[in-house]
Amino acid sequence: MQCRDKQSCQKWYERELREAAERLELVRNASHYLGPELRFERERRLDELRGRLNRAIARLEALRRANGDNWRTAAAHADEAFKALAEAMVQLDRQCSAVRPIAA
C-alpha cells in the first residue's frame, strides 16, 4: 500500500485488522457445525491465521511507535504482514467454500 502519511496508513491498517478479526470470528463460529475431522483441520488453519493476525497487529504497533521517517520502513513491514494475512484469508475462504457443514 502506498501511504502519503503515517496517520492514513495507521487508519487503513486498523480497519483491515478489524475486518480480518471479524472474518476469523465468523469462520470460527461456523466451524462448530462441521464434523470432528473437518473441525480439527479448520481449527489448525484458524490458529495459523490468528498467528498471522497477531503478526500484523505487532507490525501496526511498530508503525504507531515509529517516529520521523522511520514510519515508512515500519509501514513496509506492516504491508508485508497484511499481504500474508490477506493471502491466508483467501486460502481459507477457498477451503471454506469447498466444505459443507454437517446436518443439524
What are the 10-residue block averages of pLDDT along the chain, 104 residues in total?
A: 83 92 87 79 88 95 91 92 92 71 48
pLDDT on residue 1: 59
**Nearest-angstrom CA–CA distance, 53 and 89:** 10
Of 46, 40, 41, 52, which is closest to residue 87 (Cα–Cα)?
52
> To the nearest 10°, the Cα dihedral for 76, 77, 79, 80?
120
Q: Name which CATH class applies to 6-98.
A: mainly alpha
Residue-range domain boundaries for the chain? 6-98
Q: What is the pTM of this model?
A: 0.81
pLDDT on residue 4: 83
